[in-house]
Amino acid sequence: MSNNLQAVRGTRDLLPEECDRFRFITDTSYNIARLYGYGEIATPIFEFTDVFKRTLGETADIVNKEMYTFLDRGGDSLTLRPEGTASIARCFISGGFAQSLPVRWFYSGPMFRYERPQKGRYRQFHQIGVECLGVNSPLADVECLALSYDLLKALGLIDKVQLEINTLGDLESRIRYREQLVAFLAKYKQDLSKDSQDRLDKNPLRILDSKDERDQKILTEAPHLFQYLTEDSKQFFETVKEGLSRLGIPFLINPQLVRGLDYYCHTVFEWTTTQLGAQSAVLSGGRYDGLIQSMGGPQTPGVGWASGVERLSLLLDETNLHKVGPKKIAVIIADESAEMRSLQLTHQLRQKGFQVEMPLSGNLGKKMKRADKAGCSWALVLGENEIKEQKITLKDLSSGAQETLSEEQFWNRWS
Ligand code: HAM
């Protein structure tokens, strides 16, 4: 087959079973977000490149190595969105939403990053996310986390994930810390990885989440940001922790958690799992009080998170919750004379909200097998006798028990 007929590396076709799981995940998150007062929005899939370049950070991998950027026919530089928060901030500013705070938005859709594909990591992937704009209070961080907790619980995944949190403090705390960290790391500059050497001037905090072993070794002795937090920042984090405890949401403090995007301050968090190999982050986010202003909008605090639908879906595989739905029924045509009546019955059942399979090929045995494979709990069998006597044979596919009912008896039971 010619290469042109294959899906591009890092992209996938989502077949019906996977789409069922995606829908289950997005519908569940939409419903829970609604309980928290979030309305759904959808921003365009591409934006002017500046929207991401100016917000995600000069040294962020996403900007430097991973963006799908192209010139359109008019000569504008456009980028397929690598994440949702920058687009939402752009929408917030251009739509003048500062007049109607707070704004709580839920979104879902595809994102694009030129990353090395592996299990749970794709070049086109899907996120669900929430952003709460205009609330300074740490209670908004707690609410956001409670929403993520409720979602992971509703998906049946809460036992497979763990919440890690950290604080990056306010700007003053980070300026104080940055000086100390740079002074410390400068002593080991030659021993740091190439990426970390580059980051030492531009964004030293990112060195903290380097995966490089040499960096990790040096970092064990490094000063902790916690020591340099302002009183306000400490208090902020205390309130977040107390709120989580009050709601019975377990968490771990991970001082190394700094997140890969420049816009964060105060609370940062990640729900992680050990079940997806190298891709441990299932849902991540944090507070970003400076983002809107850095894009030219009015000073507006924000907090939110996003989660990879593919990763949730991989974790769901074992729980099978997505299979919960309306009971499936099969209508089995056992004789040609029963065709039209079966067609009619199938139609009537679907109109009543039942999910109905009507196998149309093979002999009776094949049709029964097909019904079983499709996960039907009941089979309605119509043959010559049933048509003559205007009856329906009802077979329980799990026990094998069957009985023949008049149409009236049947509908009394099934409506
Ligand atoms: P992020 O950590 O870059 O944050 O991505 C959020 C989630 O998207 C990750 O935890 C992961 O589950 C999923 N994800 C990221 N990259 C991939 C990939 N290549 N393939 C599959 N899944 C992936 C953000 O995007 C921020 N906008 C989150 C946020 C919202 N912060 C505040 N508000």
Buried-exposed string 30-48: b where 16+ CB fall within 10 A, e elsewhere: eebbeeeebeebebeebbe
Closest atom of ligand 1 relative to the 82 alpha carbon:
25
> The domain 3-170+230-319 belongs to what CATH superfamily?
Bira Bifunctional Protein; Domain 2 (3.30.930.10)
Q: How crowded is residue 208: how many other Cβ atoms within 10 Å of its Cβ?
A: 22
- Per-residue pLDDT tens over the stretch 215-235: 999 999 999 999 999 999 999
pTM of the model: 0.89
Contact 50, 81 (CB under 8 A): no
Closest atom of ligand 1 relative to the 121 alpha carbon:
20
Buried-exposed string 247-260: b where 16+ CB fall within 10 A, e elsewhere: eebebeebeebbbe
Of 327, 332, 383, whose CA–CA distance to 358 is shortest? 332
Angle at 374 between CA 368 and CA 379, to 5 degrees: 45
Question: What 3-state DSSP class applies to 395?
Answer: strand
Ligand 1 pocket, Cβ-based, cut-off 6 angstroms: 83-85, 113, 115, 120-122, 125, 127, 129, 131, 281-286, 288, 304-308, 310-311
CATH number of the structural domain 326-414: 3.40.50.800
pLDDT of 321 over the 70 cut? no
Tokens of 379: 């089979």
Q: Measured between alpha carbons, how far is 197 from 189 in angstroms, rounded to an integer?
A: 6
CATH 3.40.50.800 in the chain is located at 326-414
What is the whole-number distance in angstroms between the Cα of residue 20 and the centre of ligand 1?
Answer: 22
**Pairwise pLDDT comparison (292 vs 63), residue with the higher score:** 292
Residue 391's alpha-carbon distances to 328, 341, 376, in angstroms, are 21, 11, 21
- Per-residue pLDDT tens over the stretch 102-130: 999 999 999 999 999 999 999 999 999 99
For a substitution probing ligand 1, which of 68, 83, 85, 276 has the most ligand atoms within 8 Å of its CB?
83
Q: Residue 201 — pLDDT band, cuts 50, 70, 90?
A: confident
Q: Are strands 355-357 and 46-48 parallel, antiparallel or unpaired?
A: unpaired
pLDDT confidence of residue 1: 52
Q: Residue 322 — pLDDT band, cuts 50, 70, 90?
A: low
Tokens of 23: 């829908």
| Ligand 1 atom 16: residue of nearest CA | 121
DSSP line for 110-136: EEE-----BTTB-SEEEEEEEEEES--
DSSP line for 136-168: -SHHHHHHHHHHHHHHHHHTT-GGG-EEEEEE-
- Per-residue pLDDT tens over the stretch 137-182: 999 999 999 999 999 999 999 999 999 999 999 999 999 999 999 9
CATH 3.30.930.10 in the chain is located at 3-170+230-319
Q: Are strands 103-112 and 124-133 parallel, antiparallel or unpaired?
A: antiparallel
What is the whole-number distance in angstroms between the Cα of residue 135 and the centre of ligand 1?
Answer: 22
Contact 63, 260 (CB under 8 A): no
pLDDT of 324 over the 70 cut? no
Of 28, 68, 62, whose CA–CA distance to 46 is shortest? 68
Which of 71-80, 84-93, 258-267, 368-377 has the least mean pLDDT?
A: 258-267
List Cβ neighbours of 228 (8 Å cut-off, separation of 6 or more): 169, 173, 176, 177, 180
Kind and range of the H or E element at 343? helix 339-351
Q: Residue 326 — pLDDT band, cuts 50, 70, 90?
A: low
